[in-house]
Amino acid sequence: MNTSRLIRRSLAAAAVTLAAVSLQPGSASASPSPVVGGTRATQGEFPFMVRLSMGCGGALYTQQIVLTAAHCVDGSGNNTSITATGGVVDLNSASAVKVKSTKVLQAPGYNGKGKDWALIKLAKPINQPTLKIADTTQFNNGTFTVAGWGATREGGGQQRYLMKATVPFVSDAACQTAYGSDLTPGDEICAGFDQGGVDTCQGDSGGPMFRRDDAGAWIQVGIVSWGQGCAEPGYPGVYSEVSTFANAIRTAAAGL
Ligand code: ARG
């Protein structure tokens, strides 16, 4: 991994801000690079979304297990230090459900390149619908939805309200044009517009990238992982490829 990637990674791990941002289609000032103008998600629109106290996102894999990014956690084992907030778009809402962690499982073999997934076991269930994970590559294409409480522009602050955006699939070949050998194609799936403008950003890490399946249900295909800046032209967002890890996630969750 090169130095700039390492810097991006450590910034990510230390993330204090998180959010998804999108450019309004047809927006008058398609701002230059990092600005990503998001839209707010509505209450209940993505009920599986969870905000984690270290400054990351996550999704309810089960009501008591959150799927997030490996770079959002310190390692594996008993861990009561994380608070998961669910059930709300407004983190300051009186109806927010806050639950402590009991255990963390970081992807086996995680070393900062690929394998960017982790599970967090909660002390009690969050009574919301869960997000199923893709276990084949069949949904690794098309248009994806991303959501989070992270920065709405590169260098910006975290958000109180959940933001959402949609981004198109980017092929491994095109993504390698941007990132070269920093990309681990089997482990990672990219998304974004050639012209930038819409992307996840710091603090969205660990949150899901998802789309509709053939029955119209949401299915998770990615986990927010990294990128060069946010929404920069020519630099798509990089997401953990959930289908690659579906079996490992299932096995790990069964043992938590
Ligand atoms: N690593 C960041 C985090 O910890 C997420 C960065 C996503 N970047 C992007 N350009 N899509 O929050």
Q: Is 108 exposed, middle or buried (0-12, 13-18, 19+ CB in 10 A)?
A: exposed
Question: Which pLDDT belongs to residue 158?
Answer: 95
Q: What is the mean pLDDT of residues 205-214?
A: 98
Find out whether the beta carbon of 199 lies less than 6 Å from any atom of ligand 1: yes
pLDDT at 88: 98
Query: In terms of Cα–Cα distance, which of 116, 103, 96 is closest to 49?
Result: 96
Name the residue type at position 55. Answer: G
Query: CB of 68 closer than 6 A to ligand 1?
Result: no
pLDDT tens-digit map of 233-243: 999 999 999 99
Residue 11 has pLDDT above 70, yes or no: no
The residue whose CA has the least distance to atom 4 of ligand 1 is 12
The pLDDT tens digits of the residues spanning 143-158 come to 999 999 999 999 999 9
Cβ–Cβ contacts within 10 Å for residue 157, how many? 15
**For ligand 1, mutation pick of 51, 73, 205 (most atoms within 8 Å of CB):** 205
Radius of gyration, CA atoms only, the chain = 16
Q: Is the CB of 165 under 6 A from ligand 1?
A: no
| pLDDT 10s digits, 155-186 | 999 999 999 999 999 999 999 999 999 999 99
Global pTM exceeds 0.75 = yes
Q: How far is the CA of 203 from the centre of ligand 1 (A)?
A: 7
As a whole number, mean pLDDT of residues 212-221 equals: 98
pLDDT per position as a tens digit, 34-86: 236 579 999 999 999 999 999 999 999 999 999 999 999 999 999 999 999 99
- Rounded to 5, what percent of the chain is helix, strand, coil? 15, 35, 50
pLDDT tens-digit map of 61-71:
999 999 999 99
**Distance in angstroms (rounded) separating the CA atoms of residues 185 and 153:** 26
Q: Are 109 and 50 in contact (CB under 8 A)?
A: no
Catalytic center residues: 71, 116, 205
For 31-35, 151-155, 184-188, 221-225, which range has the lowest pLDDT when averaged over its residues?
31-35
pLDDT at position 36: 67
**Tell me, what's the pLDDT at 15?**
35
The dihedral sign for the CA sequence 131, 23, 20, 182: positive
User: Is 37 near ligand 1, meaning CB less than 6 Å away?
Assistant: no
pLDDT in tens, 13-27: 333 333 333 333 333
CB 171 within 8 A of CB 184: no
